[in-house]
């Protein structure tokens, strides 16, 4: 493909990468002498009308948009079986590679990228386009630092129904909104949710939801709350964390109403961000605090005459002062003890048993340990799935530490789906928090109609871990048998079709044509395969049809003696030739007559003579 010229204009220079449905190339517009990106539909999908429509929809979606943060489309075309888009060439890399290279982005940088993408989404939403696949791989960062949203391959008008059917889930599970995971319509707020996850990943370096299977991740989007970004990266400010959690709200109505509203909050959070220094600005627990002064009770000033009574009161006041002083000293000691708590690096206890984890934490002086429990498909019962704070985080030994401990795998009963259509079986299995392993197996069956599920592995009513896959076997119907191809010579296409249907064969719609003096126009001249060949039921037979002119008319003299037995006899002459079978002559004759007739025929012919419906003569003419 390198060096190929598309549309007599776009030269392919290099391959940049590829996705599930297209390969992306770097190219050159030879007319305008500029670099372009050329996106070519994969060859295996060019014959799939649904994929071609989806590919064209991307062109239509982007063509309706014009925004500095959206990759522009220049041209769309087709050359032979090559479907291609020509787009703006972005010098830079995608955001996913940027995150992989840097681990985390500084809050200021992450806020600016998210704000630009928000403005791009606002423009798309205003034009009734929902992207539906917002993820770092689809956000390009130019060499100048500008973010550009690309890959509208599954974008759709906001007014249309959801693409998800009760089959197949055809977008990226780690960035999927809860409503998309449930198979509901993806609206503008679905894009906002996905952008919230991208922002989470930029500032923490990790995804909020991980799982062993795609369905496991999808379920977490619906059911679970991720660790707070600030627990993974202390540099994240409360304002930035609030933006992330609002964008990632499970209920769409609780998210930002528009991408513009989110962009506004991103700008507000940027005002208090740490900028690009990358240094954490954690709250200093040793900062000087203002402590109210403790005032001792002042002795009453008594006149000389009252000194005796005052002397009696001094011990009481003295003891009161001592008690207050002790309380102040104790308070100061307690305060000193509080602010001078030892600090340790949070040990890593994930993947250890509950007892081992607690022992490790206690040896470090950490005693405030809270336990939560949840099922996990791969972490054994009683082992730690996750911890908060994260390993190596600097914490006070008095801080609360949370360990999420596995209760082991959750099990599901395999539902009864034998006899259902593949689509209905998928839905029922998905509703039981399981999934169908692709590709689906196929087998012939005399008991199940084509397209129905005939077997499962494991078997129905068996128990397997939640989120596991089930292998389905779908019937291809009865196994075809071999049949002999009939002779179609001289038949019309209509009659040839009927003859083939009798033996469960089909006429190939790709009919050939040729000139013939043996067969009239519209008659079968030849066939492939020839008559008598054995073919599997359902196979096709190709025929060649005559364009004429056909055979010329010929005459032959037929002379027939009538038996001289004293009674009349019926004489019948039948012609079988290129025009078919025709009763040329029929009449009654006296005994002893000799009947002579000139009989016409076309091409190869057989002339049959019958007396009283009994064949008495037959002659073949070539």
Mean pLDDT, all residues of the chain:
83
Tell me: pLDDT of 167 over 80: no
- What percent of the chain clears pLDDT 70, i.e. is strictly above it? 84
Per-residue pLDDT averaged across 147-164, rounded? 56
Domain end position, chosen among 455, 475, 495:
475
- Whether residue 189 is found in the same domain as residue 113: yes
The pLDDT, as a whole number, for residue 308 is 46
Tell me: pLDDT of 217 over 90: no
CATH number of the domain enclosing 420? 3.30.10.20
Per-residue pLDDT averaged across 335-340, rounded? 52
Q: Has residue 277 been placed in a domain?
A: no
DSSP per-residue letters across 152-198: -TT-EETTSPPS-------S-GGG--HHHHTTPPP-HHHHHHHHHHH
Residue 205 and residue 99 in contact, taking contact as beta carbons nearer than 8 Å: yes
Counts for the chain of helices (H) and strands (E), in that order: 13, 34
Measure the CA angle with vertex 88, ends 84 and 89; round to 5°: 100
Tell me: pLDDT of 240 over 60: yes
Domain end position, chosen among 549, 568, 592:
549
The C-alpha atoms of residue 151 and residue 59 are separated, in whole angstroms, by: 10
Residue 41 and residue 56 in contact, taking contact as beta carbons nearer than 8 Å: no
Burial level of 264, CB count in 10 A (0-12/13-18/19+)? middle
The C-alpha atoms of residue 407 and residue 354 are separated, in whole angstroms, by: 11
The pLDDT, as a whole number, for residue 218 is 86
Nearest C-alpha neighbor of 401 from the set 350, 339, 337 = 350
> Per-residue pLDDT tens for 343-394?
899 999 999 999 999 999 999 899 899 888 888 877 889 999 989 888 888 8
Per-residue pLDDT averaged across 181-202, rounded? 92
Q: Has residue 559 been placed in a domain?
A: yes
The pLDDT, as a whole number, for residue 331 is 58
The C-alpha atoms of residue 113 and residue 131 are separated, in whole angstroms, by: 17
Measured between alpha carbons, how far is residue 329 from residues 291, 323, 326, 339 in Å? 13, 10, 5, 15
Domain range for 456: 411-475
- Whether residue 249 is found in the same domain as residue 354: no
The C-alpha atoms of residue 195 and residue 136 are separated, in whole angstroms, by: 9
**First CA to last CA distance, the chain:** 58
- Whether residue 386 is found in the same domain as residue 427: no
Q: Has residue 335 been placed in a domain?
A: no
Residue 354 and residue 380 in contact, taking contact as beta carbons nearer than 8 Å: no
- Whether residue 443 is found in the same domain as residue 524: no
- Whether residue 468 is found in the same domain as residue 604: no
> Per-residue pLDDT tens for 46-88?
777 777 777 677 677 677 788 989 988 888 888 888 888 898 8
HEC readout, 423-441: HHHHHHHHHCCCEECCCCE
- What percent of the chain clears pLDDT 90, i.e. is strictly above it? 51
Q: Has residue 291 been placed in a domain?
A: no
DSSP 8-state assignment for residue 306: G
Count Cα atoms within 13 angstroms, Cβ side, for 607.
20
Per-residue pLDDT averaged across 242-269, rounded? 94
- Whether residue 48 is found in the same domain as residue 166: yes
- Whether residue 81 is found in the same domain as residue 177: yes
> Per-residue pLDDT tens for 24-44?
999 999 988 899 999 988 887
Residue 95 and residue 145 in contact, taking contact as beta carbons nearer than 8 Å: no
Residue 275 dihedral angles phi and psi, to the nearest 5°? 75, -150
Q: Has residue 465 been placed in a domain?
A: yes
Tell me: pLDDT of 160 over 60: no
State the virtual CA torsion across 244, 246, 250, 253 in degrees, nearest 10: -150
Please state whether 182 falls in left (phi above 0), alpha (psi between -120 and 50) or beta: alpha
The C-alpha atoms of residue 177 and residue 256 are separated, in whole angstroms, by: 14
Q: Has residue 564 been placed in a domain?
A: yes
The pLDDT, as a whole number, for residue 620 is 93
The pLDDT, as a whole number, for residue 319 is 65
- Whether residue 392 is found in the same domain as residue 488: no
- Whether residue 564 is found in the same domain as residue 470: no
The pLDDT, as a whole number, for residue 169 is 42
Q: Has residue 333 been placed in a domain?
A: no
Tell me: pLDDT of 166 over 50: no
The pLDDT, as a whole number, for residue 328 is 60
The pLDDT, as a whole number, for residue 316 is 55
Nearest C-alpha neighbor of 237 from the set 272, 271, 262 = 272
Burial 48-66 (b: 16+ CB within 10 A, else e): eeebbebbebbbebbeebe
Q: Has residue 160 been placed in a domain?
A: yes
- Whether residue 199 is found in the same domain as residue 240: yes
Residue 454 and residue 446 in contact, taking contact as beta carbons nearer than 8 Å: no
Beta bridge partners, 71, equal none
Tell me: pLDDT of 423 over 80: yes
- Whether residue 207 is found in the same domain as residue 232: yes
Tell me: pLDDT of 438 over 70: yes
- Whether residue 42 is found in the same domain as residue 160: yes
The pLDDT, as a whole number, for residue 313 is 53
The pLDDT, as a whole number, for residue 400 is 85
Domain end position, chosen among 475, 504, 531:
475
Per-residue pLDDT band at 291 (split at 50, 70, 90): very low
Number of domains in the chain: 5
> Per-residue pLDDT tens for 491-532?
999 999 999 999 999 999 999 999 998 899 999 999 999 999
CATH number of the domain enclosing 570? 2.60.40.2560
Per-residue pLDDT band at 311 (split at 50, 70, 90): very low
Per-residue pLDDT averaged across 544-565, rounded? 93
pTM over 0.85: no
Cite the active site residues. 133
CATH number of the domain enclosing 84? 1.10.510.10
Tell me: pLDDT of 315 over 80: no
Tell me: pLDDT of 341 over 70: no
The C-alpha atoms of residue 344 and residue 365 are separated, in whole angstroms, by: 9
């Amino acid at each position: 493909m390198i060096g190929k010229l598309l549309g007599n204009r776009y030269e392919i220079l290099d391959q940049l990468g590829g996705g599930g449905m297209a390969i992306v190339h770097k190219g050159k517009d030879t007319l305008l002498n500029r670099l372009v990106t050329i996106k070519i539909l994969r060859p295996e999908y060019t014959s799939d009308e649904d994929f071609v429509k989806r590919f064209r929809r991307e062109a239509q979606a982007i063509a309706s948009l014009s925004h500095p943060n959206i990759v522009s489309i220049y041209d769309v075309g087709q050359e032979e079986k090559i479907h291609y888009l020509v787009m703006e060439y972005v010098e830079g890399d995608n955001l996913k590679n940027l995150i992989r290279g840097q681990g985390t982005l500084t809050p200021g940088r992450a806020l600016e990228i998210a704000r630009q993408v928000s403005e791009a989404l606002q423009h798309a939403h205003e034009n009734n386009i929902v992207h539906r696949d917002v993820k770092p791989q689809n956000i390009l960062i130019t060499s100048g630092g500008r973010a550009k949203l690309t890959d509208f391959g599954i974008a759709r008008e906001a007014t249309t129904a959801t693409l998800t059917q009760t089959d197949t889930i055809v977008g990226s599970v780690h960035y999927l909104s809860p409503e998309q995971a449930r198979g509901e319509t993806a609206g503008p707020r679905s894009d906002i949710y996905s952008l919230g996850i991208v922002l989470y990943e930029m500032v923490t370096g990790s995804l909020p939801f991980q799982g062993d299977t795609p369905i496991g991740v999808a379920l977490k989007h619906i059911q679970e709350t991720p660790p707070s970004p600030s627990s993974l990266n202390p540099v994240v400010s409360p304002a930035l964390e609030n933006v992330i959690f609002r964008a990632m709200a499970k209920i769409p109505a609780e998210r930002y109403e528009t991408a513009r509203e989110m962009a506004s909050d991103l700008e507000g959070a940027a005002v208090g961000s740490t900028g690009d220094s990358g240094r954490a600005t954690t709250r200093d627990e040793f900062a000087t605090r203002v402590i109210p002064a403790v005032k001792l009770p002042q002795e009453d000033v008594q006149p000389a005459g009252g000194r005796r009574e005052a002397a009696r009161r001094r011990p009481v006041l003295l003891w009161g002062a001592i008690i207050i002083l002790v309380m102040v000293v104790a308070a100061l000691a307690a305060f000193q003890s509080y602010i001078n708590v030892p600090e340790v690096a949070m040990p890593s206890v994930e993947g250890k048993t509950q007892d081992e984890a607690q022992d490790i934490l206690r040896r470090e002086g950490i005693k405030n340990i809270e336990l939560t429990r949840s099922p996990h498909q791969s972490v054994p019962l009683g082992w730690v799935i996750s911890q908060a704070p994260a390993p190596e985080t600097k914490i006070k030994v008095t801080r609360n530490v949370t360990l999420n401990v596995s209760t082991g795998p959750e099990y599901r009963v395999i539902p009864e789906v034998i006899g259902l259509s593949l689509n209905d079986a998928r839905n029922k299995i998905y509703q039981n928090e399981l999934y169908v392993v692709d590709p689906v197996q196929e087998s012939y069956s005399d008991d199940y109609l084509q397209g129905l599920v005939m077997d499962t592995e494991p078997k129905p009513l068996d128990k397997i871990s939640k989120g596991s896959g089930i292998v389905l076997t779908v019937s291809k119907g009865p196994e075809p048998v071999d049949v002999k191809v009939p002779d179609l010579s001289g038949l019309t296409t209509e009659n040839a079709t009927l003859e083939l249907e009798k033996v469960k064969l089909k006429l190939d719609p790709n009919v050939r044509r040729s000139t013939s003096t043996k067969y009239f126009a519209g008659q079968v001249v030849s066939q492939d395969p020839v008559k008598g060949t054995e073919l599997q039921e359902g196979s096709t037979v190709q025929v060649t049809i005559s364009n004429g002119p056909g055979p010329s008319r010929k005459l032959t003299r037929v002379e027939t003696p009538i038996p001289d037995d004293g009674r009349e006899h019926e004489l019948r002459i039948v012609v079988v030739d290129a025009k078919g079978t025709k009763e040329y002559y029929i009449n009654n004759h006296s005994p002893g007559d000799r009947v002579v007739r000139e009989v016409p025929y076309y091409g190869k012919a057989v002339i049959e003579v019958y007396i009283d419906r009994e064949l008495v003569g037959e002659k073949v003419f070539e």
